[in-house]
Amino acid sequence: MKPKKYVEKADGPAIAMLGSLPPLRALSSYCLELSLAMADLTHVRFLSFRKIYPAFLYPGGTLQEDHTFPEIVHKRLYIRRFLTWYNPLTWLIEGFFTKADLLHAQWWSLPLFMIYACVCLGFKLRKKPVVFTVHNVLPHEKSRLFTLASGLLFRLGDHFLVHSPKNKQQLIRQYGISPKQITIIPHGPLDFHVSSNLSRQEARVRLNIKPEEKMILLFGAIRPYKGIDTTIAAFEKVLKKIPDARLVIAGKLWEDWSPYRNQINNLHIEEHVDTYLNYIPAEMVSVFFTAADLILLPYHHFDSQSGVGAIAVSFRKPMIVSNIGGLPELVNDPRCIVPPKDDEALAKAVMSTLLDPDRLKAMENDANAVAEKISWPSIAKKILSVYKNILRNSTDIRK
């Protein structure tokens, strides 16, 4: 396949970006927003996958593509879906023949280690700098193999981008990376999910939620660290004070649901809990967030920023988050930040929020302020500055 020529001259360097794009799922939402924002400033050649990895390696059990994402079109963005997990020749071609000034790799998943190592090594051997955005410095579920693979891969990196101060400290402590090589760049909002044509009433009709009910949303993959058990315990307390509250849990199962089902049944709250235990297509995301009154991120442990939180910011939704990782950066009101694994504190925060319309409105305004602070144009300018500094330094070293 012959690479397309860039459409027009840009001020910035030509960038190759390695990650996933729709119709693949994975990091596609983040990569979609980032690549479009960077293409506003410079030429971007996105190296994506035709086949990302075998379905049996995916904890959710399947790797169906999602064709409900919006179309990606930009005059300075060229997308090449060429990499396949079973064909090392595609890895070599992308690593050794992609025309770009540097590579920006989005790192997050252990099964991709060999592919990323090969592509990054190709750039390094051609004396092209490699930048990593490290989405998970440490895995959500403990994995010594992930940590080992990350350490080997990071030897190929010239600079590292992370989403939170805690991530920076982890990179320094876990992998011995110099602080000068690390830049904190926030996770931007995922605005493409927002549908201006969908009203709250229409969204609630689709989910069978009554207009007067106070809908609490727990969204995203069902994984042990997400705090589902804490949420269920807190919700039972909330119902005693707010009987028209409704908890909606929506996301793909990555673990056995039966302990949570038993917890719900033992607390006798099943009539007030709705579950959608499957992957939520991109076109359906707006239905859940438009219908919701309050979003919960009650994670037990977490080190970075949250894609779910980024969606909530895009919809300007009030959030209550655990006091861990980068989650507190998504809200401005300290009353919305609770200790992890504390159902009493979570219940209290939920009740005081839902019973105070003025506070809910203030939290919406806070979300708007957060969205402006982590806007993609601002993020793109910071990343472009990182690119230019790295290229300048690498040129000086070669001299």
Tell me, what's the pLDDT at 264? 97
Say yes or no to pLDDT of 2 above 80: no
Residues 319 and 391 reside in one and the same domain: no
Tell me, letter by letter, the H, E, C secondary structure of 198-256.
CCHHHHHHHHCCCCCCEEEEEECCECHHHCHHHHHHHHHHHHHHCCCEEEEEECCECCC
Best CA proximity match to 306, nearest among 227, 362, 364: 227
Say yes or no to pLDDT of 62 above 60: no
Residues 180 and 269 reside in one and the same domain: no
Residues 110 and 129 reside in one and the same domain: yes
Per the structure, the complete domain to which residue 85 belongs is given by 15-188+375-398
Residues 92 and 183 reside in one and the same domain: yes
> Taking a C-beta distance cutoff of 8 angstroms, is the pair 277, 252 a contact?
yes
d(C-alpha 182, C-alpha 132), whole Å: 10
Tell me, what's the pLDDT at 397? 58
32-41, 138-147, 327-336, 390-399 — which is least confidently predicted? 390-399
Interval 203-229 mean pLDDT? 95
Tell me, what's the pLDDT at 306? 84
d(C-alpha 334, C-alpha 323), whole Å: 10
What's 99's domain CATH number?
Answer: 3.40.50.2000
Q: What count of Cα atoms within 13 Å lies in the side-chain half-sphere of residue 272?
A: 22
d(C-alpha 220, C-alpha 306), whole Å: 10
Residues 170 and 281 reside in one and the same domain: no
Say yes or no to pLDDT of 395 above 80: no
**pTM score of the predicted model:** 0.86
d(C-alpha 249, C-alpha 232), whole Å: 10
3 in any annotated domain: no
Residues 360 and 384 reside in one and the same domain: no
User: Tens digits of per-residue pLDDT, 39-49?
Assistant: 999 999 999 99
Best CA proximity match to 286, nearest among 372, 200, 223: 200
Quick one: tokens of 192?
């493409």
Q: How confident is the model at residue 236 (pLDDT cuts 50, 70, 90)?
A: very high
| Averaged confidence pLDDT in the chain | 90
Tell me, what's the pLDDT at 7? 44
5 in any annotated domain: no
Q: What's CA 373's distance to the chain center, in Å?
A: 17
Q: How confident is the model at residue 60 (pLDDT cuts 50, 70, 90)?
A: low
Q: How confident is the model at residue 307 (pLDDT cuts 50, 70, 90)?
A: confident
Tell me, what's the pLDDT at 303? 74
Longest dimension (CA), the chain: 72
Residues 42 and 107 reside in one and the same domain: yes
Residues 152 and 279 reside in one and the same domain: no
Q: Render the burial of 223-233: b for 16+ CB within 10 Å, e for the rest.
A: beebbbbbbbb
Residues 273 and 359 reside in one and the same domain: yes
103 in any annotated domain: yes
Tell me, what's the pLDDT at 3? 38
Residues 334 and 227 reside in one and the same domain: yes
More confident residue, 269 or 395: 269
- The single residue listed with the structure tokens 């998970």 is 136
Interval 300-322 mean pLDDT? 89
> Taking a C-beta distance cutoff of 8 angstroms, is the pair 145, 153 a contact?
no
Say yes or no to pLDDT of 4 above 60: no
7 in any annotated domain: no
Tell me, what's the pLDDT at 55? 66
Quick one: tokens of 176?
């011995």
Tell me, what's the pLDDT at 5? 42
Q: What count of Cα atoms within 13 Å lies in the side-chain half-sphere of residue 58?
A: 18
Number of domains into which the chain is organized: 2
> Taking a C-beta distance cutoff of 8 angstroms, is the pair 332, 367 a contact?
no
Interval 185-197 mean pLDDT? 86
8 in any annotated domain: no
Residues 47 and 163 reside in one and the same domain: yes
51-55, 56-60, 189-193 — which is least confidently predicted? 56-60
9 in any annotated domain: no
Residues 34 and 182 reside in one and the same domain: yes
Tell me, what's the pLDDT at 9? 53
220 in any annotated domain: yes
Interval 251-266 mean pLDDT? 95
1 in any annotated domain: no
Interval 221-233 mean pLDDT? 94
